[in-house]
Structure 1
């Protein structure tokens, strides 16, 4: 089936966001009631932008503009051609292009999914000598597949069902992770662990607990990278964790790169078992993740392993809680690196081993649910991505596609 292609500005209103005031970091522009969407917010959204990291004041709004719900945000600098729909009215800067669909010509969800297909092409035409940039002129030079509006809506309904389920699971994951974090603080920061009434506290530490540094109680293990020029070291079945793979949730499921057995044998990383805690030490500093399966690791990260018999999930929760302190003492003062000696100045209190095991038993069901939901989202995303090009090209009849609840466990 062949559908016409039209430039984006023939399907609705297209314009860059506004942030005319200089300097951009003027504090009078921020802290008010108006959501201010930045390129990073678009990148981290799954389908709709439901969270933001900054807000504009009345002064900020005056030098910008408020875009309506369902505006399609398209990043043109920093992260090229990432897209997401506004879930509420918001402002955004000129590094984002906004598209408001003409409801008689285009469904914004359909247009968003088409951008998912052509994102790599848009990135390629945006490459520059110094900094990648996607101009509005280049963006409008790309045609958007344009079936009848009824077909657009049907396709968007099917695909967005997958994304809605992913978003629901993400909310559940966030709630489960918050429960685990609060339980850790209740037990080990506020010292209201089971049986605390019978344990005397001396110098701020329950009897039987040991004070020291993170270095005293944690083995800090390094990684390494095999030669990138040796092809048979790569694209095997062993996940290879780097800072780029740092997840937003507790677990890292997949990695961008993988090693062969030969690659693992020829680098300075061991194969770390499931539930090993990773912390990124360079690049994106201080991101903490649990390995969901056995993984190797590059030299920009550390793997953290208990030196004594205490629970792995306790170690992960303790490091997550201490991560802000890690950042404060990172070499250079701008969080540009964590080195082994950094762990020598991180305060660490090791509880009685039985308490850590009790904590692990208490949070393990939460972690299992998080893992299950992440795996479900992985399967949902794979199924959506398989359907995406076939539905968008008309190769599949949308009426024959089952709902994801029926096709994915």
Structure 2
């Protein structure tokens, strides 16, 4: 099916966000989105920063429901639809705000960018020899499809049903994880574990509990990135992961592969981010090669769920804006020397049983989430190319 082609600048209004300049910026501190906060299809709001905005800048740098927020650098073109997740949000200069005219459906434009990003069709609009960017003028020149508005709306609504289900699964994972984390805090931070009323406390911990360094209770492998010639996307070697993300699924998904097995994490290892934001956690279902941004951690006693939530409690705090990390980076020695309170075997086993059951539910929901992503991605090119009508 042949659809009209138009330049993005003909059917949208766009602008860059505000330059971060602590000396020149005036006004009151307000949260803003940076490049790192924008993922494909959603926003990672765990680590928001603030800068000064004046009242008359609200319209210029503010964003509204339905705006597309598009990365200018990093991975130029990566974008998501803003749906008022947080009121009065602003954007930093590394991002474009794109507001569509009424002849376009903002969901259709987003899915066009998602497909173009997957197919590499946006690279022709990049500038820069080593660090890629998509400046405002190049963004306006992006040539997109413009089917009739009713067709755009149908495609956008159909694909959005998948993304709504994906988002619901993400929320379920978060709620299940929060339940295990609350129980960890109640038992091992507030010391309200079963039988605490009859337990003697010495130096702030129950008398039968111990304080141990991480290297006493866990095996830790620090990642090391292979040379670039070992990378591929053709499923040669083992999956390779450079960093840990908190955006979306709890379990890491395979993308790039490596034929160099410099540092390997076994299946079901905890993946721990050693770079900002330190303490992000994922779990790998498969054996993978890990890069310099990751440490693979496994409990020596088999209490993997306890260890996961102990690490999360230590490194991510609710009283820091957006659940931010308390370290910018952490060395191997600093990580290995972290001291944790280890309860007696009975209490540890009781917690592990509950937390592991919650983690099993998380794994099931995560599997459903990935199936939804795969189904949407199979349909995406067929709908956006007019091969399938809705």
Same-fold status (TM-score > 0.5): yes
The aligned residue for residue 92 of structure 2 is 93
Q: Is the 8 A contact 1:311 1:353 kept in 2?
A: no
User: 1:273 aligned to 2:283?
Assistant: no
The aligned residue for residue 403 of structure 1 is none
The aligned residue for residue 113 of structure 2 is 115
Closer, same or farther: CA 49–7 of 1 in aligned 2, 3 Å: farther
Q: How many residues align?
A: 376
The aligned residue for residue 343 of structure 1 is 335
- Rounded to whole Å, the distance in 2 between the matches of 1:380 and 1:132 is 31
Displacement of 1:70 in angstroms is 0.9
Deviations 1:63-116 (A, max 9, x none): 74433321222221334111122213643234322222222x111110111111
Deviations 1:236-271 (A, max 9, x none): 47433432x544468323232335xxx5xx734456
Larger radius of gyration: 1
The aligned residue for residue 356 of structure 1 is 348
- Higher RCO (CA < 8 A, seq sep 6+): 2
- Rounded to whole Å, the distance in 2 between the matches of 1:233 and 1:11 is 35
Displacement of 1:389 in angstroms is 1.2
**Residue 53 of structure 1: which of 48, 53, 57 is its match?**
48
**Residue 383 of structure 2: which of 391, 396, 400 is its match?**
391
**Residue 77 of structure 1: which of 73, 76, 87 is its match?**
73
Query: What secondary structure does 2:2 align onto?
Result: coil
Closer, same or farther: CA 220–91 of 1 in aligned 2, 3 Å: closer
The aligned residue for residue 320 of structure 2 is none
Query: What secondary structure does 2:172 align onto?
Result: helix
Which deviates more from structure 2 when the two are superposed, residues 70-79 or residues 298-307?
Answer: 298-307
Deviations 1:298-330 (A, max 9, x none): 4553322333x35111111111212259xxxxx
Displacement of 1:185 in angstroms is 0.8
The aligned residue for residue 328 of structure 1 is none
TM-score norm. by structure 1 comes to 0.80
User: 1:302 aligned to 2:301?
Assistant: no
TM-score norm. by structure 2 comes to 0.84
Deviations 1:136-184 (A, max 9, x none): 2212222210111111111111111101111111122111111111111
- Rounded to whole Å, the distance in 2 between the matches of 1:71 and 1:200 is 57
Displacement of 1:396 in angstroms is 0.9
Closer, same or farther: CA 69–52 of 1 in aligned 2, 3 Å: farther
Query: What secondary structure does 1:160 align onto?
Result: helix
Displacement of 1:55 in angstroms is 5.6
- Rounded to whole Å, the distance in 2 between the matches of 1:166 and 1:250 is 9
User: 1:148 aligned to 2:148?
Assistant: yes
The aligned residue for residue 286 of structure 1 is 279
Q: Is the 8 A contact 1:241 1:296 kept in 2?
A: yes
Deviations 1:176-215 (A, max 9, x none): 1111111111111111111222221111111211123222
Displacement of 1:57 in angstroms is 6.2
User: 1:179 aligned to 2:179?
Assistant: yes
How is 1:239-250 mapped onto 2 (pairs within 5 angstroms)?
Answer: 239-243=239-243, 245-248=244-247
Structure 2: 5+ residue stretches without partners: 318-325
